Amino acid sequence: MQFFSTSGVTRRGFMAGTAAATVVFASGASAQAPSGPFKLDALGYANNALEPHIDARTMEIHHGRHHAAYVTNLNNAVKDHSNVAAMPLQDILAKLGEMPEAVRTALRNNGGGHANHTMFWQIMAPGGGAPQGDIAAAITRDLGGLEKLQGDFNAAGLRVFGSGWVFVTAARDGKLALETKPNQDTPLMEGKRVLIGNDVWEHAYYLTYQNRRADYLKAWWSVVNWAKVGERYAAARNGTLTI
């Protein structure tokens, strides 16, 4: 099962329970503490802050293991390539074709994974809220309003076969667009900027929703941090949004 195979955690270890699993993770984390330019930022809220829409155990594993592994693997990929290690992540992703061939796939998967998840944690918060001001106007202008965006976004998320993401991108002129990507690919790979994105890999929802991806997509809107999305929109338009 994808959920377990991508985490590097055995099913037995996973099923052993919270306390044991925490010890395994803590010792693993210190043994492979990332040395390199890329860091795993702490969540800006508690693991259980997004309940009941996203459960605490999912957040703990998703951030503390899946995302952490992307960071570790990304640091490993750049450790013999100091010129790449010195680049901002968005530039690495926009110039994948120029990256050393030996690590290009690792940069794509783990660099994409790091960028996607860093964005994902940022644009969620308990309580959610509603779009205000410029971002609300842009959603109405370019995506037919919030209700239409949510319907189209959820439908696009359901059409992603296997693992991937649904995004809303923002161009420098402020125009919004909806798109999906497989695996850990990101619109950053085409030099675009991502406003929001939802992770439709099974590890993002399986513990609570199992095969009911549609229910997860619908519930996720309750935890979108619209104040943060508004900040990202302003930054995208003035050219300061990174990942």
Residues that bind Mn ion (CB under 5 A): 199, 201
Provide CB contacts within 8 A for 45, sequence distance 6+. Answer: 125, 126
DSSP assigned state of 241:
-
Smallest separation (angstroms) from Mn ion to the CB of 151: 23
The DSSP symbol for 162 reads: S
Q: Rounded to the nearest whole angstrom, what is the least distance from the CB of residue 62 to Mn ion in the complex? A: 6
Compute the least distance from the CB of residue 63 to Mn ion, in Å: 9
Closest CB to Mn ion among residues 121, 201: 201
* Cβ contact 81:103 at 8 Å: yes
C-alpha dihedral over 44, 50, 56, 57, to 10 degrees?
A: -100
Residue nearest to Mn ion (CB): 199
Nearer to Mn ion, 63 or 193 (CB): 63
Count of other CB atoms within 10 angstroms of residue 181: 20
Comparing CB distances to Mn ion, the nearer of 153 and 201 is 201
Measured from the CB atom, the residue of 116 and 169 that comes closer to Mn ion is 116
Q: How far is the CB of 111 from Mn ion (least distance, A)?
A: 14
